[in-house]
Structure 1
Amino acid sequence: MPFLLEPVRTPEQIKKTAELAEIIWTEHYTPLIGAAQVAYMIEKFQSVSAVTAQIRQGYRYYLMQSGGISAGYTAVLSEPVEKSLFLSKIYVEKSYRGRHFTSKTLAALKKICREEDLEKIRLTVNKGNHSSLAVYEHLGFVQVQDIVTDIGEGYVMDDYIMEMII
C-alpha cells in the first residue's frame, strides 16, 4: 500500500493524532515508565490541546497514512540556529510496525532538511527504549549526549540525544 505523510492541519486530524498517541503510548511506554507517568505525559504532550498548542508554536505534525488509514504520526521543529530538524515525535501503531514507516518518514524528513538547508536531524529517546534505540542506530543516528529533563509532577525524562548528519 502507498505511504503518505499527511500534514496535520484540521481539528479532526489533531484529534486523530491524539487518539493514536494514547493508543501507542499506553501500549509501548507503560512497561518502560509506568501507567501514571504515561497518563501524565499524554495529557501534557500528546492531548488535543497540547498538539494544538505545539502546532501554534511552529511544530509540524504529520499523520502516516497507508491505504487511507492513519498508522502513526510524527512531529518536527526546525532549529535553524543549530541547522537541525528536531524530530520531536515519531510513533507507529503496533500492527503497522515492521513496514518501514520510520525509514520512509526519515526519507521525507531528510528531503525537508535539504530544502531548508538543515544539516542534521536530532531526537531524544528514552534510555530504556531499547527497540527504538536499535532502530535509530540502524538508520544512522548516533548518541551524542545524555539528558535528564524534569517535566513536572515529580517525573523526569531520562533520555539520550541522538543525531543524524544529512
Structure 2
Amino acid sequence: MIHIRLAEKKDVPSIWEVAEKTWPVSYKHVISPGQIRYMLDLMYNPEKIEAAINDPSQAFWLAEENGKVLGFCGIEHNYPETGITRIHKLYILPETQGSGIGKTLVDHVAKEARKCGCTKLHLNVNKRNTAVGFYQKNGFLTDREEVLDIGNGYVMDDFVMVKELNGFL
C-alpha cells in the first residue's frame, strides 16, 4: 500500500535517486542528454533539495511502499499568487509509473492545497512530455504556453497547466 508522507532532510538522497532514475527515461525523446544533466544538476543537487525541504513555504511529499520512496511531489502554497498551489516537481520511478502513484500524489496535494485555502493547482510541463496526458486525465487544463531560458543555451518549452479545486474534497 502506498503511504504519503512529508519529506525530511534524511530523505534528500532518496529524492535525488528518484530524479536521477526518472529524468533520463522521461525526457530521452524530449530534450538532449546534455540538457537532462544540466537540469538535474541545477534543480536536484542535494543543497537545492534540502533548501526546499527546509523552506516553510514549500513541502516535499513522498510516496513510499514498504519504506522505499517510489516518487515525490514538491509544492508551494500561494505561489505564484494567493490561492494557487504550485506543483514544482512531480516524478515517479519509471517502473512504477501507471500504477496510480502520481494520481495519489496529485490528490494528496489537492487536499493540502484546500486546507491552505488554495483553489487551484498550477504547474509547468514540457510540451512534448507524455505527462501532459497524465495531467489532462487528472483534470488539468492548458492555460498557456511558456518558453523559459534556463541558462547554458537551454530553454524549457512548456505548457502552464491549471486544475480548479472547487468542490474537490
Q: Deviations over 1:122-166 (max 9, x none)?
A: 01000011x211111111100001101111111110000000000
* Shift in Å, 1:56: 3.8
Identity %: 24
- The match for 1:82 is 82
Distance across 2 between alignment mates of 1:156 and 1:51: 21
* Shift in Å, 1:114: 1.5
More helix by share: 1
- The match for 1:51 is 49
Report if the CA contact (8 A) 1:78-1:84 is conserved. Answer: yes
CA RMSD between the two structures: 1.3
* Paired residue secondary structure (1:43): helix
Ranges in structure 2 where 5+ consecutive residues have no aligned partner = none
User: Structure 2 matches for 1:2-151, cutoff 5 A?
Assistant: 2-10=1-9, 12-57=10-55, 58-79=57-78, 81-129=81-129, 131-151=130-150
Give the stretch that moved more between structures: 114-123 or 59-68. Answer: 59-68
Ranges in structure 1 where 5+ consecutive residues have no aligned partner = none
Report if the CA contact (8 A) 1:43-1:50 is conserved. Answer: no
Q: What is the one-letter code of the residue matched to 1:89?
A: K
Distance across 2 between alignment mates of 1:35 and 1:52: 25
Distance across 2 between alignment mates of 1:15 and 1:68: 14
Report if the CA contact (8 A) 2:72-2:105 is conserved. Answer: no
